[in-house]
Amino acid sequence: MPKPKNTPLRVFVPLIVSLMGLGVAYAIYKTNKPASLSQPAAPAATVAQPDTKADVKAETKADATTPTQTPARETPTAPAAPAGSPLTGLSAKVFTGEPLATFDSTVGGDTPKGLDRARVKFSPIGAGVSALTLADHFDTIKRETHYELQAEHKLAANSVQVLTPFAALAVEVTQAGQAPQIVGLSGSPDAPVWRKMEGAPAGTFEAFVVDASGAKVLRVERRFSLAAGSHDLKLTQRIENLSASPLTVRWYQTGPVDPPGDSGTYGGDKRQVRVGFLLPPDRDPTRAAVLAHSHDKARRDVLGQRVSQVAANGAAVSVYGDLPVWPNAASTEGKHEMAWLAYTNRYFGVAIHPLFDLNSAGGRSLAWIGQADRVVLDAGSGNEIVGMRLTSNPLSLGAAGGAGSSADLSLGVYVGPLDRKQIRSEPLLAALHLDKMVVYNFGGPCGFCTFDAITGLLLFVLRSLHDYIFHDWALAIIFLVVCVRTCLHPLTKWTQIRMNRFSKQMAAIGPKQKLLQEKYKDDPAKMQQETAKLWREEGISPAGFLGCLPAFAQTPVWIALSAVLFFAVELRHQGAFYGVFQSVQQKGWLTWWFLGDLAEPDGFLHFGRAIATLPILGPVTSINILPIVLGIVFFIQQKYLSPPPTTPMTPEQETQTKMMKWMTVLMFPIMMYNAPAGLALYFTVNSTLGILESKWIRAHMDKYGLLDLDKMRAEREARRKARGGAGAGNGFMAALQKYAERQQETQKKFGQDKRPGR
């Protein structure tokens, strides 16, 4: 006689598996909301220039390309101001007649696999960066356009509203007994205040601050340099006092600006502002431990919300209000010091950090930066460009020629992939623990269970499989899933056996339990007592139901594996199966893109542009087949684990079963439609192996009679005799049942004592 099918188990197991899978997909997909593409509104204000007031606000709106003072035209003579005389009418010196071609010079190069890792072009706006591209990374697998990590942004082609990365903005100058004066250093193409230094290496610029008579008061020098084989751009900058009076200055410049975003794609916008920090000396005397993640914020939180303000003409306008990034309330309370500030997207990061001698203690703090604020180039809802503005602490400069007449404002800028191994290969970055800006975590409700130790181990195994065995990332992913399932197999096997045995026992006592429910339907306490007695007689322990809990212990591993495959930059632009689909086709074919980039959808038929934007899916640029294969696998899984029930189900049970089946078979592949091919491959392989594993475990249970009720009773009797005949009555769960019965008797007696007349 064939064994009856275990309908409760076969409904419950796929329910648990499906909920786990949907939880992973939801955690990834919850931010997958395309940015609003509404028509840009007229900007309420411009950005990146400090206010002319002495108490500079955290967020200001003056034009980045227009100094707050009228620039002074170059004069034939520029005598130094005499000591003690007031410095009035300070402004930036304009270099008239000098060609802007000096800013066409570049630092680094963009030859793939060459000596340089990046190429930096400069802007006349504040001697900042107009474009920074990476040599070994491209926009697409066609490798035609280098990946641009930082770029200068304008509201329009000829707009004066500009946000330039790492541009000098202004300097506040205070002379003893005089009011502070702010001098704009942005300049403009028509009135450049920066020039290339003669005889200096490429990327070296200087500017001067002069007084009303044209006498030079300050000299500012900026030099960008990039060592061969390094992603660490060095910005060496100094302010020198040329006057005969001691001065106090405060420096303003931009930091990183928006890296390219992933808005509208699977997973949503993953850009983050991250901060590495030091603890105060009383908590860390070594000043060597750099912590992270306590002050991280998603870009949407850094952007914030617009607030209403009154413009100069009295009209109400909506602008982005003050929003300091550093320091914040938590950092002030903890007395934290900033070690580095990073702006990351899914695969790349831009991080500013101090330059210091590795042989000396300390130096890991960006001590000269007193404040970092968010600034916005507002092109309308969904089209904002976010940048950082750095404000120095007050710096004292001695008179020209004396001690302390200059101040060092240098910093390093890491510009490259979020690759821990690569970051750690540079000693300075390793000493700063800059690799902590690399995070494999979706955030949200599943963020707490993505442990760094798990993701680190999984990434190590994935790299090892690729580097030493397969030399193909798709095969490495497949065998990584095999390795993980193999390691978790004992726990999976124990879980499924325990749940199957519990389900079989419950099915066997189903008719008796139903009779008890009908007999004692008006006496819940008695029904509970009799049910507990029945369970003891049949040797059923409530702990058997807890057999599903170990399945949840595996959840962090699978979520961590999903996060690794989603964020690992190693998979970007890597073709599957040795790029066979690209090697046998021409680039112009629609199917040439198929599995050509494991970090993007599989692109079975790739259109090269978005042909539609659909709810949930987002932009549709290709027809993808891996999600369809995934749906087929889920359908087979449902058919295998949930055969037609042998006992009648209630209408509610039938509805729930159908809903779960359709959600798993249809909704999960739809949510995964624009998922990276590597992630879709992982889910498909994992589900297929799960089916085969469950089939093997079931065969094992049938072979050894683990679901035979008579055998289970015999085992129970043997255990009872081994315990001296006490049976299940001495077990822990039995003790709990007896305690519950005593409590019920007490409550029942108490209820009788409260009857009228007592």
- Domain membership flag for residue 682: no
Please determine, for residue 263, whether its predicted confidence score (pLDDT) is greater than 70: no
Give the residue, 727 or 89, on which the prediction is more confident: 89
Are the C-beta atoms of 462 and 477 separated by less than 8 Å? Answer: yes
Q: In this prediction, what percent of the chain has a pLDDT beyond 90?
A: 52
Q: Rg for the chain (alpha carbons), in Å?
A: 34
- Domain membership flag for residue 323: yes
Are the C-beta atoms of 91 and 173 separated by less than 8 Å? Answer: no
| Span 166-178, pLDDT tens digits | 999 999 999 999 9
Give the up-direction half-sphere exposure of residue 55: CA atoms within 13 A in the CB hemisphere.
0
- pLDDT-derived band at 34 (thresholds 50, 70, 90) equals very low
Are the C-beta atoms of 423 and 414 separated by less than 8 Å? Answer: yes
Place of tokens 């029930």: 645
CATH number at residue 348: 2.70.98
Are the C-beta atoms of 507 and 4 separated by less than 8 Å? Answer: yes
pLDDT score of 167? 97
Coil/strand/helix, residue 81: coil
- CA 378 to each of CA 49, 363, 597, 741: distance values in angstroms, whole numbers, following the listed order: 14, 37, 34, 68
- pLDDT-derived band at 515 (thresholds 50, 70, 90) equals confident
d(CA 479, CA 465): 8
- pLDDT-derived band at 483 (thresholds 50, 70, 90) equals very high
Give the residue, 59 or 683, on which the prediction is more confident: 683
d(CA 535, CA 545): 13
Domain ranges, residue 731: 722-753
Domain boundary among 439, 459, 477: 439
Q: Report if pTM > 0.85.
A: no
- Domain membership flag for residue 273: yes
Domain count for the chain: 2
Domain boundary among 407, 439, 471: 439
| Span 684-733, pLDDT tens digits | 999 999 999 999 999 999 998 888 888 888 887 787 777 765 444 555 55
Helix (H) or strand (E) holding 175: strand 168-175
Domain boundary among 395, 414, 439: 439
pLDDT score of 72? 42
Which residues make beta-bridge pairs with 206? 195, 221
Instruction: Mention every residue, 6+ apart, whose C-beta is less than 8 A from residue 518.
Output: none
d(CA 665, CA 634): 5
For the purposes of burial, counting CB atoms within 10 Å of the CB of 752, is it exposed (0-12), middle (13-18) or buried (19 or more)? exposed
- Domain membership flag for residue 435: yes
| Span 648-661, pLDDT tens digits | 567 777 787 777 77
pLDDT score of 81? 54
| Span 355-398, pLDDT tens digits | 999 988 778 999 999 999 999 999 888 899 999 999 999 999 99
Place of tokens 């707009």: 159
Highest mean pLDDT among 87-91, 399-403, 492-496, 551-555: 87-91
- CA 442 to each of CA 86, 524, 557, 618: distance values in angstroms, whole numbers, following the listed order: 57, 46, 14, 19
DSSP secondary structure letters along 194-215: -EEPTTSPTTEEEEEEE-TT--
Give the residue-averaged pLDDT of 522-543: 81
- pLDDT-derived band at 528 (thresholds 50, 70, 90) equals confident
Tokens in use for 499?
A: 């749940």
For the purposes of burial, counting CB atoms within 10 Å of the CB of 318, is it exposed (0-12), middle (13-18) or buried (19 or more)? middle
Highest mean pLDDT among 29-43, 429-443, 510-524, 603-617: 429-443
- Domain membership flag for residue 287: yes
Please determine, for residue 629, whether its predicted confidence score (pLDDT) is greater than 70: yes
Between CA 295 and CA 204, with CA 352 as vertex, the angle to 5 degrees is 160
Give the residue-averaged pLDDT of 302-313: 82
- Domain membership flag for residue 599: no
- Domain membership flag for residue 165: yes
Q: Is the peptide bond before 556 cis (omega within 30 degrees of 0)?
A: no
- Domain membership flag for residue 222: yes
- pLDDT-derived band at 71 (thresholds 50, 70, 90) equals very low
